Amino acid sequence: MVKNEVEKQVLNRVTPTPEYRKKIKEIIQEIKEKLQQEIVKRKLPVTIELVGSTAKDTYLKDNLDIDLFLLFPTNFSKEDIGKQALSIGKKLLTDTEESYAEHPYLRGFFKDFKIEIVPCYKIENASQKLSAVDRTPLHTQFVKKHLKEQQKQEIRLFKQFLKGIGCYGAEAEIEGFSGYLCEILVIKYRDFSNLIKNAQKWKHGIKLVLSEGKYPDFDTPLVFIDPVDSDRNVSSALSKEKFDLFVKACEEYIQNPRITFFFPNTVKPWPIDKIRVEIEKQKCLYVGVKFDKPDIIPENLFPQVRKGVRSIWDTCERNDFTIYDAVFHVDKNSIFIVIKTEIEPLSKTLVHMGPPTRLKKYTDGFIHKWKGDSRVTKKPYEKNGRLYVEIEREYIQIEEFLKEKVKNLSMGKHLDDIVKNKYKIVELNDFLKNNFRVFWTEYLDKKMPWERQ
């Protein structure tokens, strides 16, 4: 576990100081006491458990959430435990925000510290779970039992590495590595260095376990079987994009360790003129779909935005538009889906393939279908033992196609409601504005976070 100079420097920056630890401990003690008072007042048979990185001492300095779980007996309904947790939390926290797993939980602040108050059921093993979060206290217990003291620093190093390259966090906005996944990876590989050396060789579909056995298969880039629940893949949230980025970062870090893997330089946005020149070099057309951002939490928003991107891409390709790329940008009030396609419009006509001529029943139907159709520019004809017909395209410009079709696509409950009522097809000039400079710089520059100057 010998550290290079870069890693020593990182640990100095992310390791909590004794004073900071003392302050966290006092805050946790204070809020637990207040929680207990509320529980007693309501005569609830509930225990409080600190979970997550603060409980395991694997948190990064100045970057932590204090996660407090309220463990209810299994004879309470999910509705009851959700209501009780929200009611108690709102008494103690400020700037609260309700979130939802299988039941509601509360986020907020207590004396400037981020707190989550989450209800769950008290269980002894994962087979007894009634909701997904019931496992979390078991995760905390497992890590505390199996993690060696010196490995806490290895986890801090690994978490900061993932933060630096943009892969830390299993939430929908990031689709990366959860804190728990970081911890069991270090338990498996012993230290940061050994983990990085092994990870640079990972291929899609690699399956990791902490103990040998027969486990289910999962169709994800990385599979890590949960040591407290063998039916669960801890890395299910990790996207292909973030898996590939992580493996590449490991390869490059081993070749040339440097501080920017952990603390990258911020993006220096290009001037608008430079962005325009770089786009013109590509000889492609950029078209955007803009609509209002719904007032929902990121965990619900980003899966729907990604679904929207896929829906637009798929429907364009089914209608013969060539799509080179499709990405999105979310700002305070709006969502933009940006499509990269060919400059030239489609041909005015298309050849539609019919059945083989030997299948008379189907050829008669094909001829009858197109007889008298106003779009036909060349009547059904035979070529190489098959019928064809030539027809006018309904749309040759992608802008017109999107203008008509986007409202009918499936993007997810909240986006569908918005898009059905209002959206706008926007041209490149609408994107070449100051608030898009960082977006375009990152997209066009193609530099990895650790390569930024």
Question: Angle at which helices 398-405 and 298-318 pack, to 10 degrees?
Answer: 130
Predicted pLDDT at 372 = 86
The whole-angstrom separation of Cα 290 and Cα 419 is 9
Averaged pLDDT, 263-272: 96
Residues 6 or more apart whose CB falls under 8 angstroms from that of 446 comprise none
> What value, to the nearest 5°, has the Cα angle with vertex 96 and ends 95 and 102?
160
The CA distances from residue 404 to 120, 310, 329, 335, in Å, are 46, 17, 22, 19
Q: Could you tell me the end-to-end alpha-carbon distance of the chain, in angstroms, rounded to an integer?
A: 30
Six-digit token string for 84 = 């009780």
Residue labelled with tokens 């309220």: 70
pLDDT in tens, 164-186: 999 999 999 999 999 999 999 99
Please answer whether residues 102 and 121 qualify as being in contact, where contact means their C-beta atoms are separated by less than 8 angstroms: no
Residue 383: what residue type? Answer: K
pLDDT, position 406: 95
Would you say 262 and 375 are in contact if contact means Cβ atoms under 8 Å apart?
no
Identical fold at 272-345+396-451 and 349-392? yes
pLDDT tens profile 366-375: 999 999 899 9
Write down the architecture of domain 147-264 according to CATH.
Answer: Orthogonal Bundle (1.10)
Percent of the chain with pLDDT over 90: 89
CB atoms within 10 A of CB 242: 23
Using CA atoms, how far apart are residues 259 and 450, in angstroms rounded to an integer? 8
Per-residue model confidence (pLDDT) at position 62:
79
Q: Which two tokens stand for residue 43?
A: 């005569």
> Among 238-242, 297-301, 328-332, whose mean pLDDT is lowest?
297-301
Cβ neighbours of residue 186 under 8 Å, at least 6 residues apart? Answer: 147, 151, 154, 155, 158, 192, 195
* Four-way CATH pick for 272-345+396-451: 3.40.50.10490, 3.40.50.300, 3.30.70.590, 3.10.20.90: 3.30.70.590
27-44 tens-digit pLDDT: 999 999 999 999 999 999
What percentage of residues in the chain have a pLDDT greater than 70? 99
| CATH number for the domain running over 1-136 | 3.30.460.10
Compute the distance between CA of residue 181 and CA of residue 176 in angstroms, rounded to an integer. Answer: 10
pLDDT, mean over the chain: 94
pLDDT surpassing 70 at residue 10: yes
Look at residue 74 and tell me whether its pLDDT is greater than 70: yes
Residues 16, 446: Cα–Cα separation, whole Å: 34
For residue 60, what is the DSSP state?
B
Which tokens sit at 369? Answer: 């279908």
Residue 445 neighbours by CB under 8 Å, 6+ apart: 270
* pLDDT-based confidence at residue 101 (cuts at 50, 70, 90): low
pLDDT at residue 319, as a whole number: 94
Sign of CA dihedral 298, 304, 307, 313: negative
Torsions phi, psi for 447 (to 5 deg):
-75, 140
Name 47's bridge partners. 71
Q: What would be the CATH architecture of the domain defined by 349-392?
A: 2-Layer Sandwich (3.30)
pLDDT at 64: 84
Amino acid 130: pLDDT? 84
The mean pLDDT of 422-446, rounded to a whole number, is 93
Question: Which of these, 157, 373, 369, lies nearest to 263 by C-alpha position?
Answer: 157
CA 270 to chain centre: 27
E strands of 84-123, at which residues? 94-100, 104-110, 113-121
pLDDT of residue 1: 65
Instruction: List, for residues 111-143, the tens digit of each pLDDT value.
Output: 989 999 999 999 999 889 888 899 999 999 999
Query: What φ, ψ does residue 103 adopt, rounded to 5°?
Result: -155, 165
The more confidently predicted of residues 326 and 126 is 326
Q: For the chain, which residues make up each domain, given as ranges?
A: 1-136, 147-264, 272-345+396-451, 349-392
Query: pLDDT tens-digit profile of 180-203?
Result: 999 999 999 999 999 999 999 999
Other residues' Cβ atoms within 10 Å of the Cβ of residue 434: 9
Closest CA to 93 of 65, 71, 120, 74: 65
Owner of token pair 């289910």: 216
* 242/228 Cα distance (integer angstroms): 25
Count of residues making up the chain: 453
Positive or negative torsion for Cα 83, 84, 89, 91: positive
Residues 6+ apart with CB under 8 A from 372: none
